[in-house]
Structure formats: structure tokens, C-alpha cells
Structure 1
Amino acid sequence: MKTKLFWILLLITQFSIAQDKLITKSGTITFEASVPSFEEVKAKNSGVSCVINTKTGEIASLALLKGFRFKVALMEEHFNENYVESDKFPKATFKGKIENFDLSKITTIATNYTIKGKLELHGKAKDISIIAKIKKGKDGIEIVSDFIVNTDDFDIEIPSVVSKKVTKKVNVRFEFVLK
């Protein structure tokens, strides 16, 4: 009898702990480093993981750099070998906190939240603060943000040969639906 009670309590505990986290493994990050009048420099990764602790508002995300896909295969090769050196630095991570996050107050109307934390890329870390729109969607909690990352902050060098064709101020967009 004690063993059954133990297992029931363990299952209940596990169920309640699981409710404190929302997760996705299919989030999307898109970035664009295009310069007007030149070929589009844009990539998308649709296998990004993200988790939110609904009690504390803590958020963490992980993107494998080799998961970014470009229209032009040569750009993808240059991105991985020359820019982010994905064999040496295989992932980008973010760990932070959504300020004033309260899951019970999230509605179907998108609300702006400030997210502060540390972005790590190319072996460098930088504190960032971004605005994200958060709402309840039909499939879960939706989080969307657009922000700019400066390649200089992460020691990502753009060769002088292409410096007129690729901007150092990279537009980044993430879209997550967490369940």
C-alpha cells in the first residue's frame, strides 16, 4: 500500500512540475544581413528550442548554427565556415527573464514584454534587452520579437571583399509557440 501511495504521489508531483514549464523544439529564428541593391543575405532555422518557466518568467533558447538554411548553398557554407565557425562554435544560446511575466494575464491580444538576458554566440556573450509580443494562440503561448544584433559584439568578422554586401547590423526575428 505504501508503495502504491508513493508512486501516485510521485506521478502527481511530476505532473505539477511539468506544468511550470512551456516548451518548443520547433521555434523559428530568421536573420537578414542584406544590404540594398545586393543579393539577399537571409537564413532561417526552424528547429530552435525554447523553454519558459511559467512561475519565474525565466526563458532559455538554443539554436544549432548548422540549422540555418539559405537560398544559396554557397552562402550557407560561408556562414558556417567563415563567419560563425559552426564547427568550433556550434550553437547560439539565450538565457534570461521576461519582466513582469504572469501566465494568468496572457490573453489572445499580443502584449509587449521586455526580455533581458545574455545572448551567447561565436564564443562571446552579451547582455541584451529586447521587446517581445506575447499572446495566447490556438496552439499555445506565442512569442515573437524583432531585434538587431551587431556582428562586432560577437567578433564575427565580415571580410572586406563582401563588406559592402553584408551589414554588421543583422535583423533577427524569432517566433516560438510554446506548449
Structure 2
Amino acid sequence: MPGNPAVPPRPVTLNVNGRAYSLQLEPRVTLLDALREYAGLMGTKKGCDRGQCGACTVLADGRRINSCLTLAVMHEGENITTVEGLATQDTLSPLQRAFIEHDAFQCGYCTPGQLCSATALLEEFRGGAASTVTADVRTRPAVLSDEEIRERMSGNICRCGAYANIVAAVRAAHGNA
């Protein structure tokens, strides 16, 4: 018996950026491919397709995830936010504005994942979540230092090396929040 038989598509409804997308997907379609190839949302990028670069980072119920490592069917009922959903109508988010003001991108390929990750980072910090560089993980981190930002963004790679500007943009957005 050569190869595995095709798995028939099934209806999947994804709530992405406040809109319901009714899709017909095979159960093994990744969330990344569902967003790009089926929903037409091209902002989320496919980088390594192995969860190592962070270019595909999106938010699932506010939690950052690598969309290349998860199946779309696993996210029915969750609120998915992609880079397209960070702005409201014609107004950029404070973080998007800070990325522009601090020149926190060069080629821009990693920027959607960087923005989604940084959005979650700021919410995690506001919620009191510690990181591996937090001095005392039993207490709320006192300051969102550059070291904290670098550690919390460590899952997102920028091949152009815009890290200093990314840290500056996150720090500025945090200060303006």
C-alpha cells in the first residue's frame, strides 16, 4: 500500500483578528498554513518552519505561539491575533509606532513575529510574569530592563541584527503604556 491515504478536509472555524474564518482543512494543516494559504493573511511569515526563528509568532488568547508548530484545528474557539490585528482601523498600536520611530527593522521579514511577541511580552510583564533573568521569580519584576526585554524576545531571531533598536522600541512602548 503506497503512501498514506489523504485525510478528508473538515470544517474549521478560526476567530482571527476579531473575524470568523470558516475553512475546510485537513486536520494536519498547521495554523501558519491556515492563516496564510486558506485565510489569506500573509503578515505571518514562514521562516524556518521548525519553531526556531519566531517569524511565525501569533497570539492565541493573548499567549504567543509559533504558528508553524501547532495545528489549526487545535485553535478553534480561541481568539487568534496576527500582525494584521494589532492595529485598530487606521491607527497603529503603540508598539508598531515605536518600531517605526526606533527603526526596529531592516528587511522586515521577522517584524510581524517580533511585534506579536513584543505585544505578549508587555502583557506578560504587566501581569507580573517573571523571566529567567528576573532577580527573584517569587515577586513581580520591578523594572522591564533591557536584559528582561532581550530574554523575553529571545525566541525571535532577526537575521539583519536590529536587536538594539527592537529593545529600544519595546522599552519606549512600555514607557508610553
TM interval, shorter chain, is under 0.3
Tell me the TM-score normalised to structure 1 length. 0.26
Q: Which has the higher strand share?
A: 1
Tell me the TM-score normalised to structure 2 length. 0.26
